[in-house]
Structure 1
């Protein structure tokens, strides 16, 4: 015999300096009595062969053997593994738990079976197994081969042989709640089931699951302690739940004068001539504990465009008794979306039709609906229910808000707060209110303020839930706003001594709605790279031949919009032809997003001298802010020293301090990485353009859909020959 170890899976609570464990003692064990698998072996010789290639087994037998095998298999398929004939439970409520003596009468039809008995969240004190091979005989022999063990989440009988088993278990079960007024545990499904429970107090015992209404309750006083005992049979179920409620005993005794007169045997009624004799009686009245509940409401009416979303939080405070279901009354115009809370078993919304006495009158439309909420177990302290609904309205007009209230005789008091907020551009005006007191928003409880997401327009409190509120909503016309903005842009152009022009545009953007950034490049170009937030994206071209780059949406916590970088690298298809002297004209494209600060870097050949740069952007000695994403960000300290050096010399003579290899940019499309129609629709690679030569800096504030034109005159440097 093997005794299962104790195991508690529960919440620990302290009561009277002792630790009490409470749980529901459920299991997930499947109680479906599976059909036995046929296992027939022929007595005759059977020839077989195995093909190693296809792993098929070929069996050769006679026709009679095959027919016998089919018949035996058909009989085995209809045979169950086991059946629990009787299950009896004798429970005694103790100080910290409930002691239950379980007795099971089990018929096992096939050997080596597993029969779940009780969940492993209960503790087994002792167990016994008796066995007989004949089902019709009473088990008297102690079975040493079978045992009780843990399998999955149940204490399980492991039986070796087929026959009849008689199992006895002495277990300890935790209470359902800390008030010690209920117990429940999972049970195996048996044909005959019986429960007897004894509680050491004067109480009313109820079988909750399954719901059984029987009046066989016995109260007995032993050693000045009243014991309440209830016994009943119940149908095959998978969970047994019992609760008990204290009873109040009141003795109605006669007055002192009557007692004194009766002690002397004087009949006062006969002397008065009434002919009736007064009798001294003592009555005992049992009164169930009456349930009393206080309710605090917090309601938010969130006014949006064409809809009002309602968030209603109800906190039930159970003063006395217990409750396992709630009813909420609300107007039929409210569409209930969800009902949330802990331990909710189910909820439903039922319309309430008004009474009509005339048969010819058509059935009117329901103006009220009831939301019924059923809990998994009774609540004895507090419970919070969250109801979410909506009311469809017009964009502008009057809206009537009806009260949301609890129903039931157990509701002794109901009060709360109500606010009206806006989640769109609407103007709200109060038209009428009844049984509502206007208050300042600073008087609202913190729990209600945390439920809101927009500005609070109206705030009320109420002591009577039968309130009414009419408001007028005015929706003004919306104005266009900026949905994408470029904080800083850095335009880079590198021109080789052979005249190849390579451009890199870097944007730092915040975006909420815009899908693409459109870049109008005024000349023919070859796209080398398009990067958005460090990821390559596919570029596109619209009907105006503007380059389209898809944008991300700016996200962040607590409404903070994070910026991201967009990089475009492209090459001018036509190379610039340098002469001994001439004029160099550079054009940067315009974009459809406003730019707060535009920074331009030009890298020109060192073989030429350049005059002042003119155009619609100003030449500077140094940038007023750090460019968004350039090679300068990779080595900040070194580039800081370079910027300090460049700020002390003429802009035309500023050189890159870090030596770089000379890269030939000539040739259409960049040599081996040429661009053709075969690469359309593919993601590009990330390209860093070379930055060497004379570094020219230009800067402009607030550029809005403007093309940047830069022009300068150049001439060849004179060579000096030394003897």
Structure 2
């Protein structure tokens, strides 16, 4: 057994050695197959794409271009009519197989070509010299060729097409000196001269044309340092005020030949410079020199061309009325100066010219725009001057001023509600144009109390003057000279005597210290009264009466206002007044108050209410029930009277004789009717209706009576005829 086991173990070792030798032999064969080009591994596989997929072997991609020219260098020697040039290209062929590489244009003469030191031939195709090769990799190509040199009157040049590369260097030798060389599409150009020759080198941008031009240098003399030549045009507006002359001068400079950063202006010594403005202005200073003030203006940098400088100044006069020369402004350091002067009056001064020399008077319409555009006031005098000195002396007279309105009320509207117990609530809105007035002063009617005041929609605190008038603070109107009016609102209550059965009532509006162009009043009067006539300085606007109830009120049967409705109306106003009185406190801003609009509506208007006038309206009233009974009595009386009169007319033989006898009575009736029409219009209407009805009834009665009389006459004639016939028959 031990022998057998040892033999088996030896056989296992021999098997392992044999397997190792076989593995080493096969591995050596595989290594030689990879390293040797003549070996190839062939395998059958159903899908080669899977074998060469993303997870296995990636096949090489086709290059995007066939070749690359990474750099080029051109070195040439210029001769009289041609140039000998050597081009050196760094190539890299990427495509497997034959590749055509276009190089130079066909208008150059190829002398020699070498690829990697070996002579080659180039192909001429499509106007290009081309290199044909099938060798992949990097190469160096050298080409010797000739280019024609073109000459004209004062320069020479050469040019030819080249392949576009990322880097192209040129170097030329020109057998001349004192020449100017320019190479198109180049930078970092260097031009040097040595041994009677000129050498030019440069780096080209990515271009497909090499062009070089050279010509004899032209000596440019050093520029002569020129002094600036300055011309000035002056536009001056003189504003004459009370004891002062304000000047506003604009100088329009024209600067040629050279720039400047300094301007000088001369002014009289009695003139104070207020302000100097202009672009690039750095500083300005005033000094006195030889009886004049010199204004030096400094800019931050030199300027050439046109420049505008503005100077504002003033001259103080001895008084509001004086004889004075206008300030004469002179521009120093200029070749020529001309100017225009416009003179205006800022206040109510009278300006008279006493003496003029060196300046010509022109029409105001001839003044240039820079003067006219600076003022909205009328320009009184205009002058033009072409040189210095000039003199314009004015006689200035100040006249006494007349006070004018600083505020005016364009319109005022009032709404007044009157209740039966005599109380009235009025809301007045004044549309005010104010320049500088501080308060609107109102003299309210007697027994009146203010409830609220608003200005421009905002609450304000009213004050009370020593005279007992109400002062409402005003704001200033906006909009410049054409000011816009703003509303001033006041609501107040007035204690008045109650209305009885018959009487008169006065409705008085506040008196203000500003004239009113137009005042309008809407008057709401109690329903239980009729108002026979209106008097006062406000004219009634004839419109149809209508009702604008805010709160629905119950009415009695038949549509007439009931006592319950009237009591409800009075109660509402009392509650409204009580609420406002509880809210009214000193020093607290008022609340907005709306006046109830309910009752019989009447409208009144007045044009031009002066400060000493108070708009007012007076009415004659009567209880509506009494007035209704009175109108009924008048109606019946007129009806009966006219009927009786028509009955009597039937017994009158001559109507005109009857009218002559009753002439005084008829005139009296006409006068009474005329008075009733304007004092008792409702009564007049009742009487007129009664008269018309009576006339219609009388006419019907007279017609009926006439027809009856005619019928009786016909019957009488018939009976008479029949009786005569009977008598004749009896006689026969």
Q: Give the TM-score taking structure 2 as reference length.
A: 0.51
Give 1:618 shift: 2.2
Quickly say closer, same or farther: Cα 1:286–1:501, change in 2 above 3 A: closer
More relative contact order, 1 or 2 (CA 8 Å, 6+ apart): 1
What's 1:672 paired with?
579
Give 1:535 shift: 1.8
Cα distance between partner residues in 1 of 2:540 and 2:502: 21
* Higher strand proportion (structure 1 or 2): 1
Q: Which of these residues, 455, 459, 470, is aligned with residue 547 of structure 1?
A: 470
Cα distance between partner residues in 1 of 2:590 and 2:551: 28
Give 1:579 shift: 3.1
What's 1:698 paired with?
604
Give 1:466 shift: 2.5
Q: Which of these residues, 497, 502, 510, is aligned with residue 589 of structure 1?
A: 510
Q: Which runs of 5+ in 2 are unaligned?
A: 1-190, 194-217, 554-568, 630-732
Q: Which of these residues, 385, 390, 396, is aligned with residue 321 of structure 2?
A: 396
Cα distance between partner residues in 2 of 1:697 and 1:581: 22
Give 1:539 shift: 0.9
Q: Which of these residues, 674, 679, 686, is aligned with residue 592 of structure 2?
A: 686
Helix, strand or coil for the counterpart of 1:664? helix
The one-character-per-residue Cα deviations of 1:349-396 (angstroms, maximum 9, x if unpaired) are: 1122x4xxxxxxxxxxxx311111111111011110000011111200
Matches within 5 A, 1:266-277: none
Give 1:474 shift: 0.9
The answer to whether the Cα contact below 8 Å between 2:525 and 2:600 also exists between their aligned partners in 1 is: yes
Matches within 5 A, 1:491-530: 491-530=414-453
Cα distance between partner residues in 2 of 1:371 and 1:507: 54
Give 1:617 shift: 2.2
Cα distance between partner residues in 2 of 1:665 and 1:505: 21
The answer to whether the Cα contact below 8 Å between 1:663 and 1:690 also exists between their aligned partners in 2 is: no
Helix, strand or coil for the counterpart of 1:395? coil
The answer to whether the Cα contact below 8 Å between 1:499 and 1:666 also exists between their aligned partners in 2 is: no
The answer to whether the Cα contact below 8 Å between 1:660 and 1:692 also exists between their aligned partners in 2 is: no
Q: Which of these residues, 513, 518, 523, is aligned with residue 602 of structure 1?
A: 523
Q: Which of these residues, 307, 321, 335, is aligned with residue 383 of structure 1?
A: 307
What's 2:548 paired with?
656
Q: Which of these residues, 465, 468, 487, is aligned with residue 565 of structure 1?
A: 487
Give 1:533 shift: 1.7
Quickly say closer, same or farther: Cα 1:665–1:303, change in 2 above 3 A: farther
Alignment of 1:612 with 2:533, yes or no, is: yes
What's 1:341 paired with?
278
Quickly say closer, same or farther: Cα 1:565–1:315, change in 2 above 3 A: same
Quickly say closer, same or farther: Cα 1:348–1:492, change in 2 above 3 A: same
Alignment of 1:328 with 2:328, yes or no, is: no
Matches within 5 A, 1:150-189: none
The answer to whether the Cα contact below 8 Å between 1:297 and 1:416 also exists between their aligned partners in 2 is: yes
Cα distance between partner residues in 2 of 1:457 and 1:716: 70
Alignment of 1:621 with 2:542, yes or no, is: yes
The answer to whether the Cα contact below 8 Å between 2:549 and 2:598 also exists between their aligned partners in 1 is: no
Alignment of 1:577 with 2:498, yes or no, is: yes
User: How many residue pairs end up in the alignment?
Assistant: 397
Q: Which runs of 5+ in 1 are unaligned?
A: 1-220, 224-248, 252-283, 355-366, 623-645
The CA RMSD measured in Å over matched residues stands at: 2.8
What's 1:471 paired with?
394
Helix, strand or coil for the counterpart of 2:571? coil
Cα distance between partner residues in 1 of 2:552 and 2:312: 65
The answer to whether the Cα contact below 8 Å between 1:501 and 1:576 also exists between their aligned partners in 2 is: no
The answer to whether the Cα contact below 8 Å between 1:496 and 1:604 also exists between their aligned partners in 2 is: yes
Matches within 5 A, 1:124-163: none
Quickly say closer, same or farther: Cα 1:344–1:457, change in 2 above 3 A: same
Give 1:668 shift: 9.5
Helix, strand or coil for the counterpart of 1:288? coil
Give 1:669 shift: 8.8
Helix, strand or coil for the counterpart of 1:679? coil
Cα distance between partner residues in 1 of 2:326 and 2:625: 88
What's 2:39 paired with?
none
The answer to whether the Cα contact below 8 Å between 1:299 and 1:419 also exists between their aligned partners in 2 is: yes
The answer to whether the Cα contact below 8 Å between 1:323 and 1:380 also exists between their aligned partners in 2 is: yes
Matches within 5 A, 1:344-363: 344-352=281-289, 354=290
The one-character-per-residue Cα deviations of 1:278-309 (angstroms, maximum 9, x if unpaired) are: xxxxxx88631221011110011100112111
What's 2:58 paired with?
none
Quickly say closer, same or farther: Cα 1:580–1:453, change in 2 above 3 A: closer
Cα distance between partner residues in 2 of 1:499 and 1:471: 69
Give 1:335 shift: 0.6
Cα distance between partner residues in 2 of 1:222 and 1:588: 106
Cα distance between partner residues in 1 of 2:433 and 2:490: 17
Cα distance between partner residues in 1 of 2:420 and 2:549: 19
The answer to whether the Cα contact below 8 Å between 1:575 and 1:666 also exists between their aligned partners in 2 is: no
The one-character-per-residue Cα deviations of 1:110-136 (angstroms, maximum 9, x if unpaired) are: xxxxxxxxxxxxxxxxxxxxxxxxxxx
The answer to whether the Cα contact below 8 Å between 1:490 and 1:505 also exists between their aligned partners in 2 is: yes
What's 2:689 paired with?
none
Quickly say closer, same or farther: Cα 1:497–1:456, change in 2 above 3 A: same
Helix, strand or coil for the counterpart of 1:322? strand
Cα distance between partner residues in 1 of 2:223 and 2:428: 88
Give 1:515 shift: 2.1
Structure with larger Rg: 2
Quickly say closer, same or farther: Cα 1:569–1:285, change in 2 above 3 A: closer
